[in-house]
Amino acid sequence: MAVLGDSSAATITSVTNAASGQSVAAPGMLAVLKGTALATLSGYYTNGVYAVGRLFGVLVTVNGVPAAVQSVSPSQIKFQIPYETGTGSAVVGVSYNSSAAGYLIQVTPSAPGIYADTNGNATPTATVQAGKTLALTMTGDGVPSPSLADGATPAASSSLAYKPALPFTLTIGGAPAFLTSYGIARGPME
């Protein structure tokens, strides 16, 4: 049990969309949790299906449901908001050894954050150059159809069969963008 004033007690200072940095969340979104004393080790899971449950002894939950975790460190955790998380207020919890912390977030049906693919690397971006072709990867598009397990991604051969269940449109500068294809990304969450 953490003692008041104990510097080893876990604290959460923010939970944001991994791509946009915004504080609103959506089911299935990759999130970044920041704080202090969240873990004693740093490490990540690399198999494409992330650890649902404990990763290096750290457990992340959303409304009591274990979340898929990509990486942990003493000051940051990357995790997926479980698909079954309902809209409205939700509590993100982190427990490690005898320390625990909670943080209130707001969940909406979607909270898109876009990564732009530059030289084969997905990096957060807020701008796109007019007239250029761009591959986009996003998080926070909500529940997929057909459904996926928390932390799972589709196989390469079926990735375009999985789509956001919500209607999907893309506009740039208020004008509709031409989409050649879209679907749930294959491979590990980034």
Q: What is the pLDDT of residue 143?
A: 83
Stretch 72-100: mean pLDDT, rounded?
A: 93
Which of 190, 71, 49, 180 has its CA nearest to residue 121?
Answer: 190
Q: What is the pLDDT of residue 2?
A: 39
Which of 45, 99, 48, 116 has its CA nearest to residue 77?
Answer: 45
Residue 140 lies in a domain: yes
Stretch 71-96: mean pLDDT, rounded?
A: 94
Q: What is the pLDDT of residue 91?
A: 97
Q: Say if residue 39 is in the same domain as residue 57.
A: yes
**CA 69/CA 65 separation, integer angstroms:** 12
Mean pLDDT (the chain, rounded) = 80
| Residue after which a domain boundary falls, among 66, 81, 107 | 107
For residue 34, CA distances in Å to 10, 171, 182 come to 10, 31, 31
User: Domain limits at 140?
Assistant: 113-176
| Residue after which a domain boundary falls, among 76, 107, 138 | 107
Q: What is the pLDDT of residue 5?
A: 41
In 100-186, which ranges are continuous DSSP H helix? none
Confidence band for 160, pLDDT divided at 50, 70 and 90:
low
β-pairing, 68-72 vs 76-80, is antiparallel
Query: How many domains, in total, are found in the chain?
Result: 2
Q: Say if residue 98 is in the same domain as residue 144.
A: no
Confidence band for 107, pLDDT divided at 50, 70 and 90:
very high
Q: Say if residue 92 is in the same domain as residue 158.
A: no
Which of 170, 111, 168 has its CA nearest to residue 142?
Answer: 111
Give the residue with greater pLDDT, 161 vs 64.
Answer: 64
pTM of structure: 0.80
Give the residue with greater pLDDT, 156 vs 38.
Answer: 38
Amino acid, single-letter form, for residue 171: T
| Residue after which a domain boundary falls, among 80, 107, 134 | 107
Confidence band for 100, pLDDT divided at 50, 70 and 90:
very high
Q: Say if residue 121 is in the same domain as residue 156.
A: yes
Which of 95, 71, 73, 69 has its CA nearest to residue 81?
Answer: 69
